[in-house]
Each structure stands twice: as structure tokens, then as C-alpha cells.
Chain A
Amino acid sequence: MINMVSVSKVYKPGSAPAVSDVNLHIDQGEFIFLVGPSGAGKTTLIKLISREEMPTAGRIFFLDNDTTIYKEPELLRHRRRMGLVFQDFRLLKSKTVYENVALALEVTGRPPREIKERVPAALARVGLAGKEGSFPNELSGGEQQRVGIARAIVREPLVILADEPTGNVDRETAWGLMDLFETINQGGATVIIATHAWDLVDCLKKRVITLEKGQVIGDEQQGSYNHAH
């Protein structure tokens, strides 16, 4: 599904590469943890897959299409196949929970009737039924992240990309969120999570890709967080 071929990314000419000569193959329906120390290149890798960033070298294929040559229309289609979840939730404080989730459908021009059906369903999936009218600042951190996840899944994307989704919540809430990601993955979506939460990684026994200084130094099925890194 996702194929990265000799991918490198240098933000400023002359500086160290954020990602260096990465080769990865990710199949549909996989659940993957990206781990590694801060600055290892996890966020850059996620941005490269979502095509928020362009690689300096190499090719990234999504469903056999080269994403590095996408023009605006293909790029929009590509982004609409992804569901993004952020550490800081990135919810709009002036919008209600319902409006935040609906935005993901509105930007693709979905009809109001469909939005009215899909938004409550997505909120129910993340356990937030009945919170439609609340504003983000009326919710706990865990609940806000669930809204972020509902927004990511409401379009039923092929891939969920989550960058430190448990970084701003307590341990117990983090476990709840991981359960949610597993459920989403069981529904058929590929889930890629960049994280520092070693205990979650070790416990869930999923594929673990370890990065250091922009390079892939480990790639294990049913892997664990390498404490040395």
C-alpha cells in the first residue's frame, strides 16, 4: 500500500537530514508503531506519507501511485484518504465537537444529510455520543483526542496517521486511546502511530519501526520499544 524507496528529507541545505535513505513497505491493514528518540525523524516520516512534506530524494508510492509527482487535485485526493491525529489535538475551540468532526466532511463537499448521519456515528465509535454540542475546552484531554480521532475516521480513510496521540494524556487515557486505534485497525484501516509510549508499544506487540538520526535501524513484526534508543 505504501512504498518508500530511498527516501531522504533535508529541511535546510547543509543541515543533517531529518530522514535518510529510508526504504519501507507497508501493507493495507497493518498496525505500525514508529519509535525512536526525539528528532529521530518520526514526525517527518508521517509528514512525508501524508505529503505535507516533499522528499528531497527518493520516491513514495501510495497504492502504486508516485505521490512525489502529485499535482493539486491528486494531492487533495491523497490527503482525503488519510486521517491525521495530532498530539495537540488541533481542534477548533470556537466550534463544537459536532462542527469539528463535520469539518472533515464539509471540506470534501459532502451533503448535509450525509454529514448528519456520519458525524454522530463517528462520535459514537469513539465513545463521545451525547457530547456533540460541547466545546473542546469543556472536555478532558482524552476526550479532546477522541474528537480528533473521530474527525480522522469520519471519512473512513484508508490510513490513520497519528503523531504522538497519547503525548498529552495520562496513562489510563492512553490505554483507552490505543484500544480505540486497535478497533479502527480491525475495521480495515492501516494505522501508523509515532510514539514514545514504550509500555504501550511493548504490550501491544505490533510491527515496530525504530528510527534514529533519520535512519531505520529496526523493523520488527510483533516488536518492542528498544530502550537503548
Chain B
Amino acid sequence: MNSKGVITMLINYLNYCFRQAVISVSRNRWLALVSAGMIAVSLSILGGFLLMAVNTNQVMQNIQSNLEVAVFLDDAADIPVLEKKIEQLDGISSYRFVDKHHGLQEFGRSLGDEALLEELTGERNPLPDLFRVRGVEAGLIPALADQIEQFPGVESVDYGRELAQSITRISGWLNSFSIGISILLAVGAIFLVGTAIRLSVAIRQEEIGIMKHLGASNWFIRLPFLLEGLAIGCTGTLVALATLGLGYYQFAVFLLQKSPVFFLQPVTAPAKLVLIFLSLLLLGIMMGGLGSIFSIRRFLKV
């Protein structure tokens, strides 16, 4: 057979497969709808967890990026030398020097009434000069604090040790929990598609046997079921994405307008969101395909 003949055969074959997939879905439309619905629910939950995970991570990062080490200096400290040493440390995102005068002003502002501290200005100011150092993540703060404390001219260091440790711990738990739940849901969804396709295959078992007798290749038999699984997976995923998209939009608008605290901001970066939605789409389609392939394998031996 020449190449034109092969192409014509392939087109006829694909045409047949598409027709069979459409006929099969419409013949078992309730089963297909229920399966797609179950995938939609599974993927919505999975997607919800993923969105929750990225938002939690962002909140954690917001908090982490605001964690800082307060480095209190003694009066004899060589500030330019210290600044140089701090600047050269690994894991530092930013630092700033606060002299005792500005430190008093900051303290006054934190009390809500700067007038309360008027007596303590000038020579009577009891506060030391200090550096405020921020790490790139919360986990690095204790090590940074330990290093800085060893520098000459540093009297003491202070940071939210408990808070830093808690944030690192909670962040780890949330990530593990999200990954675990996501894997469970993905396996469940594959099983659901598999069940739908198995039923579809069982209904058409006689047809498969006859087709094998007529000389149909395994792929000829397999492809309509594969397309059926992909269509179910795709439909379910699109419903899930629409639901998630709408829900997340409402959530983001609400948080952007009414967030009570600075660090509670939704993830709105298109790159991150598109990546999640594309991954879900790919996952849904893959689940449909995998469910089909696993279900029809054992029916092909005639």
C-alpha cells in the first residue's frame, strides 16, 4: 500500500473511532454524565486543595518575609564593619540600621503616643543602636541569629523563635497534607473513570469479540474507548475548572477588598494560576485515558 493509501486508511479509521466514541457516549450518556460529574467533583476538591496550598504558601512567605532578627549593639560597636559582615551573610533578604534615636521614635509609634517618651530623648535615651535583619525564609532565622550574635559589638539578638519554628512546622504539615489528599483523590478519580469505561466495555464485549474475529487490530478496538475516556475526563475537568475559576475569582475579589491583615492576600499571579489550571486539565484528561487503557486491556485477548 502506498503512503496515500495508508493516510486514507488512517483517516477512515479515525473517522470510525470518533463516530464510535460519540455513539458509545450517547448510548451510555447517563453513565458518562455521572462519571464526568464524579471527576468534576474530585478535581474540584483536588484543585481547591492546590489553590489552598499556593495561597497558604504565599501567606507563609508573607509572614516569613516579615520575620526579622533584631541585632542590639553595644555602644562601642563598629557599625560600618558590622554592616559589612551582615551584608556578606548567606540567606539574608534585607537589613536596615536603626540608630537609637529612630529606635525611640519607632517605639513611641508602637505605643501609639510618641509624647510618652519625650523624657527619654537625647543622652537619656536608654535604647541601643540596632540592625533589623530579614532572612529569605523563616527556617534560616535561628541560624542567622546565632551567627550574628558572635560578631564583635553585638550585645544580644532577638527574634520570634517560637513563631519561626511554628511557621516552618505548619507549612510542612500543610504541604504534606495537600500532597497526600491530592494523590488519594487522583487515584479515586482514575478508579471512577476506569469503572465507567469497564461498564462501557462490558456492554460492548460481544462487539469486541466480533471485531477481533473480523481482524480488527487492538488499537482499532482500543481507540474508541480511549477517546470515550478522554472525553469523559475532559468534560469533568472543564466543569471542575469552571467551578474552581468562578469560586476562586469570588474569593480573590473578597480578600483583595476586605483582607483584615496585610499578609492575607490571594495569589493572583497569572503564571501560577494558569499552571495550576493547565495541570488540572492535563491530569483530568490523563485520568480519563489511563482509566480507559487499564479497563480494556483484559478484554482484548480473543
Contact = CB atoms under 8 A, between A and B. Distances in A.
B31 to A, nearest CB: 15
A104 interface: yes
Contact of A72 (B16, B214, B218): B218
Interface size class of B (residues with CB under 8 A): 20 to 34
Contacts of A111: 8, 12
B211 interface: yes
Given A90-B206, A90-B210, A107 B12 contact: no
B10 interface: yes
Given A72-B218, A90-B206, A92-B207, A109 B13 contact: yes
* Majority SS at the chain B contact face: helix
B23 to A, nearest CB: 9
A109 B10 contact: yes
B216 interface: yes
Interface stretch (A16-24, A76-84, A198-206, A216-224): A76-84
Interface string B201-244: 00000110111011111101000000000000000000000000
Contacts of B216: 76, 107
Interface in B8-22: 8-10, 12-13, 15-16
Contacts, number: 53
Nearest to B6: A109
B76 interface: no
Contacts of B214: 79-80, 84, 103-104, 107, 151
Interface in A154-200: none
A7 B257 CA distance: 83
B244 to A, nearest CB: 38
Given A52-B302, A92-B206, A84 B12 contact: no
B12 A72 contact: no
Interface in A79-124: 79-80, 82, 84, 90, 92, 94, 103-104, 106-112
B9 to A, nearest CB: 4
A79 B13 contact: no
B12 A110 contact: yes
Nearest to B217: A76
A77 to B, nearest CB: 8
Contact of A79 (B10, B207, B213, B218): B213
B215 A72 contact: no
A103 B214 CA distance: 8
Q: Which of B9, B12, B209, B215 neighbours the largest number of chain A CB atoms within 10 Å of its CB?
A: B215
A52 B9 contact: no
Contacts of A110: 9, 12
19 contacts: A50-B213, A52-B302, A76-B215, A76-B217, A78-B215, A79-B214, A82-B215, A84-B214, A92-B206, A92-B207, A94-B27, A103-B214, A106-B12, A108-B9, A109-B9, A109-B12, A112-B12, A112-B15, A151-B214
Interface of A: 50, 52, 72, 76-80, 82, 84, 90, 92, 94, 103-104, 106-112, 151
Given A90-B209, A92-B207, A112-B15, 5 more contacts: A78-B215, A90-B213, A109-B8, A109-B10, A109-B16
